[in-house]
Amino acid sequence: MTIIHSPHLDTPEKTALTLGFLPLMDCAPLVIAKEKGFFSEAGLDVQLSREGSWASIRDKVLLGLLDGAQMLAGIPLASTLGLGSPQVNMITAFSIGLNGNAITLSNELLAEIDESGHQPNDTSAAGFKKLINLRRATGREKITLATVYPYSAHNYLLRFWLSDAGIDPDNDVTLTVVPPPQMAVTMKKGHIDGYCVGEPWNSVAQEMNIGNPIISGYQIWNNCPDKVFAVTENWHNAHPATHQALICALIQASHWLDMPQNSDEALQILLGKAYLGPALSMLPQPQLTQGNRVFHRYAASYPWRSHALWFLEQMQQWGQLQQGVDLTKTACKVYRPDIYRDVAKKMKILHPTIDCKPEGYHDSEWILQGNAGAVTMGSDLFFNGTTFDPNSCR
């Protein structure tokens, strides 16, 4: 099933592996790597374990119950820093695509916004702030919004969107954590008023007629990072060839997923009961690329250290990480583009040669010089016109 040059890799130290995932659209590279034989071609016998929450995935990887897993990009950074879990060094050499998140509000909250005459648009939460002020003035309880994990792109994108309109996420609303598969049912029960989550759980809310997305993660930050494939540093040190084989198979799978002619087959595979079947079966027309998701193009699978620096800066901004921590040192320790480049070179595929790039400067596709030619990159604008310079984090 090879679709890119099949490289000569060192013999894996360990071949029987168990990898964790959550039932989200961006688990697709792991699923496709297994079902289309990319893991097998790399000499690996992989079993996929569907997990119920990000905390479960984190703990099982840290304890060695899973060899590696699909993870929120913030988890390996937080674990390495000892935030939210015992301190265990983790690394990632593969980013699981870009985009795919959205902020969804309940029908009841949307109706309240509409009745008050304040309708938030796709670039500002100013109308949302007016409703918050109205509720406060009339003595009503705070709006409750959920994200999937404290150290997640979802949490930071939601906070970014709210705070730009002058909303204090820690005081003007109540923020809580709900695992992705439980988001829609939790909102249906009235326990939360909205959430930020990855697909298909925004579309599920629409299909259940309990809420609607009001802004996508792509609209907040064009081609924003979200998930990674991660392992512990000790696991990598014990199995470097196995890790390279995994990255090779995941690159193959991501390239396959970005081919439009493969979308229908990919959805049929993901519809399997072991993967996303219960959720996708609710949707009349599920879309693999919902929310502008990309898996391979725009160097989507490349583990940019500048992305790590953005997440670390968010942790500091919101009081999760103390000042004085060397952010660049942490980003370089956890994010390993050197491993990705080594595998990509053996696969003879075009890839970036730098570790960092600025964000917020491109409103359309742009060109980055790669190892053997031009790498086409995607737009990277933030919704409010701000920019991010990774050099400012040093």
Q: What is the pLDDT of residues 39-82, one digit of tens each?
A: 999 999 999 999 999 999 999 999 999 999 999 999 999 999 99
Kindly state whether residues 119 and 169 are assigned to the same domain. Answer: yes
Kindly state whether residues 172 and 195 are assigned to the same domain. Answer: yes
| CA dist., res. 268 & res. 366, Å (int) | 33
| CA dist., res. 199 & res. 128, Å (int) | 23
Query: Given 220, 246, 269, which residue is the final one in a domain?
Result: 220
Q: Which parts of 85-152 fold into alpha helices (H)?
A: 107-115, 126-137
| CA dist., res. 311 & res. 307, Å (int) | 6
Local confidence band at 4 (pLDDT 50, 70, 90 cut-offs): low
Residue 159 has pLDDT above 70, yes or no: yes
Strand partners, 230: 69, 92
How many residues are there in the chain?
Answer: 394
What are 6-26's pLDDT values in tens digits?
A: 678 899 999 999 999 999 999
What pTM was computed for the model?
0.95
291 φ/ψ sector (left φ>0, alpha ψ -120 to 50, else beta)? left
Q: Which of 352, 238, 363, 349 is nearest to 303 (CA)?
A: 352
Q: Which of 140, 136, 132 is nearest to 113 (CA)?
A: 132
Query: Residue 353's pLDDT is what?
Result: 96
Domain assignment present for residue 256? The answer is yes
User: Where in the chain does DSSP place strands (E)?
Assistant: 16-21, 45-50, 68-72, 90-95, 101-106, 144-147, 174-177, 194-198, 211-216, 227-232, 366-369, 374-377
Query: Given 220, 242, 271, which residue is the final one in a domain?
Result: 220
What are 70-118's pLDDT values in tens digits?
A: 999 999 999 999 999 999 999 999 999 999 999 999 999 988 887 776 6
What are 348-381's pLDDT values in tens digits?
A: 999 999 999 999 999 999 999 999 999 999 999 9
Kindly state whether residues 161 and 272 are assigned to the same domain. Answer: no
Kindly state whether residues 205 and 252 are assigned to the same domain. Answer: no
Kindly state whether residues 200 and 302 are assigned to the same domain. Answer: no
H or E element: which one contains 371?
none
Kindly state whether residues 231 and 90 are assigned to the same domain. Answer: yes
Kindly state whether residues 90 and 122 are assigned to the same domain. Answer: no
Kindly state whether residues 211 and 109 are assigned to the same domain. Answer: yes
For residue 167, give its domain range.
Answer: 101-220
